[in-house]
Amino acid sequence: MTITRGQTILFSALIASAILTYLITWMLSRNPGEGSVIRDQGPKHHTKKRSTPSTGGRAFLVTLALIGFPASIAILDPRAIIGVAIGLLSGLIGLADDLLKVMKHDSSGLKARYKLPLQIIVGLLAASASYYFMEDSALRIPFIHQSFNLGAWKIIIGLFCYLAIINGVNFTDGLDGLASATVLTASLALGIALWTTGLGTAVVPVTIIGICIGFLPFNWNPAKIFMGDSGALTLGGALAASAIATGLEVVLLIIGMVFIIEISSVVLQVVYFRLTGGKRIFRMTPIHHAWELRGFREPRIVAGAVVLGVIFGLVGWWSA
């Protein structure tokens, strides 16, 4: 069996991203001066996590820039370059949010009136770059295994995918190991889908897998460090942009159904609360907190989410 140059680059990116993320995260986890700012509305037992460093996502930004970007250039894949660039821009928004939380000791961080417009700008950049600069940016329709050119609707669908995934990953980051484990399974499924369909290389998903592997030993329960918004938005942004650039937006929404469930629970709760004058559908959102309040321990909830992630990942990969 002959190992191709592309396979060598992918394997090298996987190993290098895992090692670099592990080393940087180890250094960040030893800084007790950056404790987490826990929101008052969260489960009461989460207050014990206040001393846990909360900006582990800085390791993701460094790794994506030093490993993902050179690997994308080396493998000559402009789609992967878009994924890396959008991941870095998304992560910078999250980093601003994290730093504001730490400096102000306030869980609100970057206000939504600034954060959402910035996300929309980055999402439009991802979708527009894919539509205008990629020769083939047709949308892959799940289950029928064909791609269709939908014109400028590609930008609208791409923006929706971007906002849903990055914010879904961000909401999922509420329990030890939950976001990093589910992003790992989603990246694996997306990488396999890219590989089998031939729509693009799997540089970005493989780099994300390496990042998650390097980070999980420190993030598993009990977590020694959290990824924060800088980490969640970096991973979500890179994952979403990789799918947008290859026409797999809708496929990613299936693969990342765990993230969609998480963000949907928040949206439904807010809408129902306002329409009914204060009534709730769930005891707390995102939905993983509702399971916590029902007496389920964090590792059990994470395990259940990973199982769901694997199932949806398989369905999404098959549908592509």
> What's the distance, CA 195 to chain centroid?
20
pLDDT one-digit tens code per residue, 80-102: 999 999 999 999 999 999 988 88
pLDDT one-digit tens code per residue, 117-156: 999 999 999 999 998 887 667 899 999 888 888 888 999 9
Residues forming beta bridges with residue 147, ordered by sequence position: 140
What dihedral angle (degrees, nearest 10) is formed by the CA atoms of 74, 184, 139, 315?
A: 140
Q: In 10 A of CB 247, how many CB atoms? A: 28
Reported in sequence order, the residue ranges of the chain that DSSP labels E, i.e. its strands, are 139-141, 146-148
pLDDT one-digit tens code per residue, 268-307: 999 999 999 889 999 999 999 999 999 899 999 999 999 9
Answer with the residue of higher pLDDT: 117 or 6: 117
pTM here is 0.92
